[in-house]
Chain A
């Protein structure tokens, strides 16, 4: 079965600094990959999804960008963080074998 690794697990960054969150997937190939953000005590907001290498769809205009340089690697980036970028970021994947998506353990980002 697939395993999703996210790092870093926790990050505190100053306003205006860059961001890079990485997600890698093991145990599957050609997955759909997703980045979600969850504000404290709130639901999940889909930020980006990717159906293949170099293919990124953005759901909501953000101060963020995503890239998929390899089949099982998904990166969330920002050039200049805002306070409102704080939250819990979750990477998820959907394999070709079913309709269930699997989540990583998340990355906590606090922008100060």
Chain B
């Protein structure tokens, strides 16, 4: 991809379980963001973490950032069927590159 890679590419879990997705990127960043995409729709912003932050929480979302490893993780706790979607990380700059995404399926 132009900048980042998420893994796993696909993840299937039972409702109530936690889901963890990882993102690796290539260049230095000021911010890293996570987005969600429901099938056939535009992307929706979830959370932004700055390069000087190591962890950030928003509701059931927890994001970590390790700039030394150029990686980030997104944890969704107590997953719900409605969390089924693709999740992307994006690094900032004029270009705003996205990773390849993790397709999450939460089974009711």
Contact = CB atoms under 8 A, between A and B. Distances in A.
Interface of A: 4, 32, 34, 36, 41-46, 49, 51, 57, 59, 88, 90, 92, 94, 99-106, 108
Classify the interface of chain B: helix, strand, loop or mixed: loop
A102 B96 contact: no
A46 B41 contact: no
20 contacts: A32-B94, A36-B98, A41-B103, A42-B100, A43-B88, A44-B88, A45-B1, A46-B2, A46-B96, A49-B94, A59-B95, A90-B42, A92-B43, A99-B33, A101-B90, A101-B96, A102-B45, A104-B42, A105-B42, A106-B42
A106 to B, nearest CB: 5
Given A51-B94, A102-B45, 4 more contacts: A32-B94, A43-B88, A44-B98, A90-B42
A85 B49 CA distance: 34
B55 interface: no
A108 B44 CA distance: 18
Interface residues of B, number: 24
A99 to B, nearest CB: 5
A44 B41 CA distance: 13
Closest 8 CB pairs of A and B: A43-B100, A103-B42, A44-B98, A103-B43, A100-B45, A105-B42, A43-B101, A99-B31
